[in-house]
Amino acid sequence: MSSALILPTLAAAAVSPAPASLTWSFHLDHVLGASFDMAVMAPSQGEAQFAFAAATSEIARLDRVLSVWRDDSELAALNRSSVMQASPDLFAVLSACETWRTRTGGAFSARLGRLHDAWSRASDRAPDAVELCVDASRIETAAVGLEADSRTVRRPNEVRFAPDGLAKGYIIDAAIAAARRAAPCASGVMIDIGGDIACGGATRWRVGVADPSQPADNAPPLAVLELSRQALAVSGPGPRDHQIGGHAYSHLLDPHTGQPAARLQAAVIAPTATEADALATALAVMPVDQGLALAERRTGVEALLVSGARRHATSGWQAACQAASALPAGFAVEVSYEVPRIDAGNYRKPYLLVWITDPDKNLVKTLLILGAKKDYQQENYVWWRRYGRKQPGVLDALAKPTRAPGRYTVGWDGLDENGKRAPQGRYLVHVEASREHGGHTYQVIDVNLGAQPATGSAPAKDELGAVQLRYGRSR
C-alpha cells in the first residue's frame, strides 16, 4: 500500500474538541508489517486506553489467523494443506477475496502467493515473463473450493493464498468494532495501518492522500478528505516495490500475466476498510476507464487514480475533497443579536454567550461572553455544562461587560480556538442568554459554511430578540 496522511482532525486539532471530550493518540511500529496509528476521542484517558487495548488485541488475534508472513498462522497451515476446515475469520476473508475476484474480472486476486514468491526471490533479473504468464493462467483457472456450511476450503496445488490486498482492511474493520465495543463513551475512533484508514463513530477526521510524485515526508497532500464512518485505502508503487538489477518493479501484480502492474496509484473511499482495500488494489491494476466505472457502480465509493501528472476521478471525488477545504480567505461570519427591552422593576442586564460548534457539538470557537460574574454566568447552563466549567479561566480571558437593550454584532473570522482556519461544512451557531430575576433563552442556527455566501436566523424568544447570521466576504 502507498501512504495516506493523517492530518489534524476536525475535532482534535483543526478545531478544539469539546472540553468533555479529548483526543488520545497511540502509535506502534511493526504492526502487520507497517506502522500503526490510532486516535480516540473520549472523555477520559481510561476510556481511550480501553479502545486501544481492544483494537490491538483484535489485530494480534487476526494476525495469527491471516498473516502471510508467519509460519504459525492459520493461513500458513492452509497453504500447506489441500483441504482444511477454516475458522470463521479465515473463511470470511477468502470468500470475500473470491467475490472481489469475480467483481473485478480477475484484477483482484488472493491466489498469487507463488507469483509473489517468484518476484521476491529475484535478485539480478526479473522472472521469466513466459513462465509467469503460464503460471498465472493455471492459477486463474484453478478450482478453489469454498463450502460455506462446513467452512471447508479446498486448495488446488497451483494456488497459494495471499489475501493481503483485502485482509488488512478486514482486520482494521474488526479492530474498529472491537474498540467501539470496549469504549462505548468514545465519540470517535480512527485507525491507520500502513495507509489503510478507517474511522468509526460520529467524529469527522481529516486525512490526506500522499502525492506519489512528491517523496518528501512533509510534502503537501495530493488531496484532503474529511471522513466519518468511512475508510480510505491507497494502493500503488511504494516501499514494498521489488528492487531487481537496479530497477524498481511494483509489488502489485497483474493476475492475468504475473507481471508488475503499471505505476498507477489508486485512492479509494468506501464504507468499510475491507471494500476500500480490495478496490484500491484492483483499481491500481485495472485500466483506468474500467476501474472508474467499477467504482462508480459501488454505493458510497469514490476514487482517484494518479498516473504521472494525470489524474482521473469518480464523479463525487471532488465533492469529498471540498468538504474538507478551509473556509475561504476573506469570508467571515457576522452574528447580529438583540437584547430586548423588558419592563421589569428589578431589571438586570442579561448574561449572554455566542459560540460555534460542529454538528456533533464539538466546540469550534467561543465568540462572545457578556458578564464576568461566574455565579450568574452558570445560569447559561447549556454552555456552562458542556464547555465553561471545563475551561478554567475562560471567563476571565473572554468576558466583557453586559449590554443594555439594543442591537449588537459579533463576528467570526473562520479561525478556531487554535488559530487555524476551520474547514468548510455544517456548523451550529449557539446564542444563549439568562437574566437575574428573569428567564433563560437558548437558540441555535444551523448553517452551511462553504464557498458561497449564506444566511440564517432565529426568531425572538423571551430574553433574546431576533438573531440574524450572515456569511460571506468581510465588509
Q: Give the domain CATH number at 69.
A: 3.10.520.10
- For residues 378 and 453, state if they share a domain: yes
Q: Are residues 286 and 401 in the same domain?
A: no
Instruction: State whether 269 and 345 are in the same domain.
Output: no
102: CB partners within 8 A, 6+ apart: none
Confidence at residue 11, expressed as pLDDT on a 0 to 100 scale: 28
pLDDT at 386: 81
| Contact (Cβ atoms closer than 8 angstroms) between residue 116 and residue 171 | no
**Residue 341's CATH number:** 2.60.40.4070
**Claim to verify: residue 393 and residue 316 sit in the same structural domain:** no
Q: List helix spans (H) across 67-143.
A: 74-79, 88-103, 113-121, 129-141
In one-letter notation, the amino acid at residue 36 is F
d(CA 234, CA 224): 13
Q: Is the same domain home to 296 and 420?
A: no
User: What pLDDT does 394 receive?
Assistant: 58
Closest residue by Cα to residue 468 from 443, 433, 451: 443
Distance, in Å, from the CA atom of 443 to the CA atom of 433, rounded to the nearest integer, reads: 9
* Of the residues 322, 343, 358, the one at which a domain ends: 322
Those residues of the chain that have pLDDT short of 50 are: 6-19
Do 173 and 213 belong together in one domain? yes
**Residue 42 and residue 149 in one domain:** yes
Q: Is this model's pTM higher than 0.75 or not? A: no
Shared-domain flag, residues 338 and 308 = no
| Rounded Cα gap, residues 336 and 339, in angstroms | 10
What does the alpha-carbon distance between residue 212 and residue 193 come to, in Å, rounded to a whole number?
18
Tell me, what's the pLDDT at 218?
Answer: 56
Parallel, antiparallel or unpaired: strands 188-193 and 425-434: unpaired
Instruction: Please tell me what DSSP assigns to residue 106.
Output: T
pLDDT of residue 7: 45
Q: How far is CA 71 from CA 63, 161, 168, 386, in A?
A: 11, 13, 18, 52
Edge-to-edge strand list for the sheet holding 440-449:
399-400, 363-370, 351-357, 425-434, 440-449
What pLDDT score does 308 carry?
A: 81
Report d(CA 446, CA 469) in Å as an integer.
10
CA–CA separation, 250 and 297 (whole Å): 27
Please indicate, yes or no, whether residues 154 and 193 belong to a single structural domain of this protein.
yes
User: What total of structural domains would you count in the chain?
Assistant: 2
**Enclosing domain of residue 455:** 331-473
Last residue of a domain, one of 279, 302, 322: 322
Beta-carbon contacts of residue 110 (< 8 Å; ≥ 6 apart): 93, 94, 97, 98, 101, 161, 162, 163, 164, 165, 166
Q: Which pLDDT score is estimated for 216?
A: 59
Query: Hunting for cell 471540498 — which residue is that?
Result: 322
| 225 plus 144 within the same structural domain | yes
Last residue of a domain, one of 322, 353, 375: 322
- pLDDT in the model for residue 217: 59
Q: Are residues 284 and 335 in the same domain?
A: no
Indicate whether 298 and 376 sit together in one domain.
no
